[in-house]
Amino acid sequence: MSEFDLIRNYFTWPASREDVTLGVGDDGALLRVPPGQELVVCVDTLAAGVHFPDETPADALGHKALAVNLSDLAAMGAEPAWATLALTLPAADEDWVGAFSEGFRSLAEEYGVALVGGDTTRGPLSITVQVMGFVPRGHALRRDGARPGDGIYVTGTLGDAALGLRHWTQRTTDGPHVHALLARLMRPVPQVAAGLALRGLAGAAIDLSDGLLADLGHVLDASGTGAAINLAQLPLSDAFRAVSGDAPDWSLPLSGGDDYELLFTLAPDMEARAREVLPVPFTRIGTIEASPGIRVTDGEGQPFSPSRSGYRHFN
């Protein structure tokens, strides 16, 4: 199967959006940005053995490659619109490519995303996705708006994907609770609706990809602030608690990564409104402070020293 056969058979489908003048099949896409909107552009690469285990099913990879990018759009409060895909493959395995395409396309259709271009080449497995979306001018969520006294909140639960990865690598994957954790690892749900609802409410926002402490640190650096976090307030799923038992490894919700939930800050007078409009559960986990750094305490109010801060390439 040639490169062009692969593109035609698995990555060319009718554009479902009227703002796509020309999509897959030419040297470039022709796209229209609506009046009064700013274009938000995000890109992520997933490399085999770095971002996912080699044995990850192809359909899950197709889903995740797009989901992690949609999560970035969610953190900006943007509505998804278009995507491009650069796919490097060791070989043109039609079964693998077909499953990958189905996972990608299914999620794209769920979020109204049109695939408008990309590239395919031969080499070690690597997947690069760029997504583009819209946000009304001046209403994007950013990292630099956290202020002392703001509450720190997260959607959903933390640590599930990291604990799932631990069991995957240890080949201990039996049981419904572990299966639930693996679903969080392989098929993350981008919190797009929550990001849209937070426009005009959140002071700052970021998606949780590299771990709570690392990503919160980006917000604090951009905002020139610090934070206090309480372990007892971190939201943990029933599956996480069941698998962890009475002594959870706090490095997983603090630093494990791959949660793809949203972390955001709210001024004290904004929480009630956020409770009314956000379509997903969210939990307050701490407070923005003026003094730089992150201070973590346990359920007894005693200082807690995390063993690591989060994932870092090249460290």
Q: Is 260 annotated as a binding residue?
A: no
The DSSP code sequence of 146-196 is --TT-EEEEES-SSHHHHHHHHHHTT---SHHHHHHHHHHHS----HHHHH
104, 57 in Cβ contact below 8 A?
no
User: 44 a known binding residue?
Assistant: yes
Contact 289, 228 (CB under 8 A): yes
209 annotated to bind ligand? yes
Say if residue 8 carries a ligand binding annotation: no
Which residues lie across from 88 on neighbouring strands?
121, 126
Q: Cα(154)–Cα(205) distance, rounded to whole angstroms?
A: 10
Sign, CA dihedral 140-143-147-151, equals positive
- Does the annotation place 119 within a ligand binding site? yes
Query: For residues 280 and 153, what is the distance between their CA atoms, to the nearest angstrom?
Result: 12
Does residue 19 have a known ligand-binding role? no
- The answer to whether 210 is a known ligand-binding residue is yes
Beta bridge partners of 38: 135
Grouping H, G, I as helix, E, B as strand and the rest as coil, residue 87 is: strand
Is 215 flagged in the annotation as binding?
no
Q: Is 207 known to sit in a ligand binding site?
A: yes
Q: Is 105 annotated as a binding residue?
A: no
Q: What is the CA radius of gyration of the chain?
A: 20
Whether 311 has a binding-site annotation, put simply, is: yes
Q: What are residue 39's DSSP bridge partners?
A: 134
- Angle at which helix 58-75 crosses helix 176-186, to 10 degrees, equals 60
Look at residues 201, 200, 218 and name the one whose alpha carbon lies nearest to residue 209: 218
Please say whether the dihedral angle defined by the alpha carbons of residues 56, 60, 180 and 155, taken in this order, is positive or negative.
Answer: positive
Strand duo 20-22 + 30-31: pairing: antiparallel
Annotated binding site: 27, 44, 51, 72, 118-119, 143, 207, 209-210, 258, 311
Annotated binding site for Mg(2+): 27, 44, 72, 119, 207, 210
Annotated binding site for substrate: 51, 258, 311
Annotated binding site for ATP: 118-119, 143, 209
